[in-house]
Structure 1
Amino acid sequence: KTHEHVQGCATELKRQPLYNMFGVKKGSRAQEIITQKINGIKRKGKLDYIYPEKKIIADIKTCANILRFEPELYAEQLAYYRELASEKYGIPESEWDCYIMAVDKNILYKRSEIFLLDKQLLNASKDRNAHNLKLYLERKKTGFFNPVTLNPDDNLSRRDKCMNCDHYPNCKFSLQKNTTLIS
């Protein structure tokens, strides 16, 4: 049943008119892991889809309801991927187009959408990533991480809980506990 569900999600994405731009073609790569040293710091990311010749990066997301999907919540992630890809392929960050391919995972029917993230949003997200990296490295150097002050009973959105505080990746709200994107 799970395999059928995943196939249904994939089929729905392929129905999108823009999907042909992402189709598996010579030069495109699915799930590429990029490891680069940027400003002396080793970083890595697992990209769902990259097509360097067309300067395209895409990430696939599933959601409960496509009508309420917020692609901007993933801007920091795509800005990070864009920085890695730029370093690896020598293509300026400003030339990459970053997309979110979102599919509704409702069992009865499927809906999908492809979103192009705004480059100004990606630039601002890169700045936030740099700020958070600086804080993380300072904490790592001193061995001091402030205790998490968020209350798990608070009615916080996912945006408030994921990678936007000084405590990531040691935050109890982290979606990927004990995972490090930098070393």
Structure 2
Amino acid sequence: MLKLVVLISGGGSNLRSLLEAAQDAEYPARVVAIGADRDAEGLVHAEEFGIPSFAVSFANYPDREAWGDALLEQVQQWQPDLVILSGLMRLLPPRVVAALSPNLINTHPAYLPEFPGAHGVRDAIAAGVSESGASVIVVDNGVDSGPILSQRRVAVLPNDTESSLHDRIKLVERELLVQVVLDIANGTIDLKELVS
């Protein structure tokens, strides 16, 4: 059984999909803790599902490195097999990535390497493309540049807004994330092999 720590900044819709999947006794992973970089609304899922949570607020630290060290200390207390960045809107410092790699994955609302960064959906709309997508990747020290574990295309409709496109991408992101965690648990995806 894989032990997961999930880190969020917002509503935690991908997190909720994992929590729901893990309610199935056959699903080979369990969320053991949920963390956030602020008082995120998604922490309500922790309360609902009876899972410990923590917040390491960026505002309480002098710089990214100090914040990262405090976050890492919280994460490592749970001895997770896999750490998932699920809408965490902050880059992790290199030493945090090094400590958790390769068992550190992230979801992204674009078909990478297209539209990396914090505004993937907005950038796709602005570029006028007919397709965007969703990706699950291994986190490295770049911006959405790690090895791709899974991805799927999502059509951009003529009347799409950033919000309507993002809602459809999120549905795909959730499916991909639940499947990737399953594939890591059953050995179909070998993270160490991908980053060696």
Fold shared per TM-score above 0.5? no
Task: Give the structure-2-normalised TM-score.
Answer: 0.24
Task: Give the structure-1-normalised TM-score.
Answer: 0.25
